[in-house]
Amino acid sequence: MRRREFLRAAAVGGGSATLLSGVSVAREPYRPLGNVAVRNAKEAVVGSDGKIAFVAATDGFATVDIADPANPTVLAERRGLLGGKTGGPLSQIWDVKVDGDRLLVAGPANPVGDDALHGFALFDVSDPANPERVAFHETKFPIHNAMFTDGTAYLTGNDGDGNPLVMVDTSNDSPTEVGRWSMLDVNSNWSKVDSWVRSLHDVWVRDGRAYLAQWDAGTWVVDVSDPKNPSHLAHFGGRPLDELASIPSEKERDAVIGLPGNDHYVRTNDDGSLLVRNKEAWDTDGKGGNGPGGMELWDVSNLRRPRKLSEIPAPATKDPTYDLQFPNLLPVGVASAHGKCHDCTGGAGASGQWTTSHNFDIAGDRLYTSWYQGGVKLFDIGDPANPRELAWWRNPKKTAFWTAQRVSDDFFVASSMGRHGDGKGGLYTFPNRAGEQENPPPLTAGGNGTGGAISAPKNESTSTTEQPGFGFGVAGLSVLGLTALRRFRNRE
């Protein structure tokens, strides 16, 4: 943590007070600076000027003025996108990404039917109050997540086969696919593993490297400095190929939902020496031993020999199961197979309290994290072997946070998708400093839901080989449902 930020923060750590130069300093009260409603909000990203946030909204997107964090204001909403196209409108828009004055709006996140429209729309957002669509690129696969940088769109191409990373050049607002890469290119034996288990859940690109979260197949790093000729650089984590290939079909759902596994999102710091990845996972056996999923910090300064430095556990919850807390978000195949949802478009049959890790951001020595009903947390990772919690805020009866993204030294934003399919999503702004929530609501039956202790790894390191040495995975809530994906894969 930079010294000026340390002094301005006044206190760090998880207690109600800490010693600074020998003096006990109480932590400041911590609460949102402001918020604004965005119906069915999902992912949120921040424009390069730090004044505008863009929010995926399931059936469209919103642009939000955040120049005054105490009073965020919706400037524009675009919903029912591409309703005039065959198979439209574009549905399950869970991800947006911004690159300069262009906004990528992708969907559907999961297979929704053979005839439904799939792809991404490109919007000119130079005037965020009046976004204008300038292009649409149609795909034959759903797009759960994407990355958009230097005019290239990087798409999660979960086609039920190779599940490739798909690269699309958007120059001159004329999107054209230019390259693909799949783990099957490295070792064709990965085809023996059910594609659901090795889904490409998310992609992060920095300095010509794409970091791929491939669920139980681990983290893969690909050289995309030339998107037309991608090449494999490294692979670590994940469960062994033979182990994944031997999972009985009736056990696949539990394998995907619970730990070990579930590489959900991967991101590096500015110089690429530190990598953070998280696990989106739930308890599947009623004992709490395989969920909820937390986060890991890795030294990747030597990409051939990555080394885990520490772990951040998820907040404890009274019910860590995958029961249909947000059934409107789940593919019908998963919901019906689960047997606890009578109306999988609404809020019926909801149970479970989700505190697994979801999307996050890294900037300098700060880690900004979201935990669904577990709230948002801010960490100091100046010493990545000993991350320190600076602040934690949650309101589990009203909010379920999808992401947290830095804006400036003063504040960050976090999007909430609401609760039980109530549509009451929104964008929140939070102070970028240490603090403590006053009278925090409980997450557990007998306490305040404090998470387990941050821990160092147990002498774990891995080498980069074609066979994974450990175990991670893809989707949970945000993955392709097993039944839906198989139907999509076999539709021919």
DSSP 7-46: HHH---SSSSEEEETTEEEEPPB---SEEEE-TT---EEE
Radius of gyration of the chain (CA): 21
Instruction: Write down the pLDDT at residue 444.
Output: 83
Identify the residue whose tokens are 């919903």.
Answer: 79
Instruction: Write down the pLDDT at residue 451.
Output: 61
pLDDT one digit per residue (tens) for the chain, 492 residues: 333 343 334 333 333 333 333 334 457 999 999 999 999 999 999 999 999 999 999 999 999 999 999 999 999 999 999 999 999 999 999 999 999 999 999 999 998 888 999 999 999 999 999 999 999 999 999 999 999 999 999 999 999 999 999 999 999 999 999 999 999 999 999 999 999 999 999 999 999 999 999 999 999 999 999 999 999 999 999 999 999 999 999 999 999 999 999 999 999 999 999 999 999 999 988 777 788 999 999 999 999 999 999 999 999 998 898 865 444 444 333 333 333 332 233 333 345 789 999 999 999 999 999 999 999 999 999 999 999 999 999 999 999 999 999 999 999 999 999 886 688 999 999 999 999 999 999 998 655 566 666 766 654 444 333 222 222 223 334 444 443 444 444 443
Q: 181: part of which helix (H) or strand (E)?
A: strand 176-181
Q: How far is CA 287 from the centre of its chain?
A: 25
Instruction: Write down the pLDDT at residue 223.
Output: 98
Helices (H) and strands (E) in the chain, counts: 5, 30
pTM of the model: 0.86
CA–CA dist 375, 394 (Å, integer): 4
Instruction: Write down the pLDDT at residue 452.
Output: 60
- Cα-based distances in Å from 99 to 22, 57, 272: 46, 19, 20
Instruction: Write down the pLDDT at residue 445.
Output: 66
Residue count of the chain: 492
CA–CA dist 347, 381 (Å, integer): 38
Bridge-partner residues for 303, per DSSP?
Answer: none
Q: What is the DSSP letter of 25?
A: E
Instruction: Write down the pLDDT at residue 442.
Output: 93
Identify the residue whose tokens are 């739930």.
Answer: 282
Instruction: Write down the pLDDT at residue 491.
Output: 40
Token readout for 226 is 């030339």
**Residues with Cβ within 8 Å of residue 292, at least 6 apart in sequence:** 281, 282, 283, 314, 315, 317, 320, 354, 355, 356, 357, 374
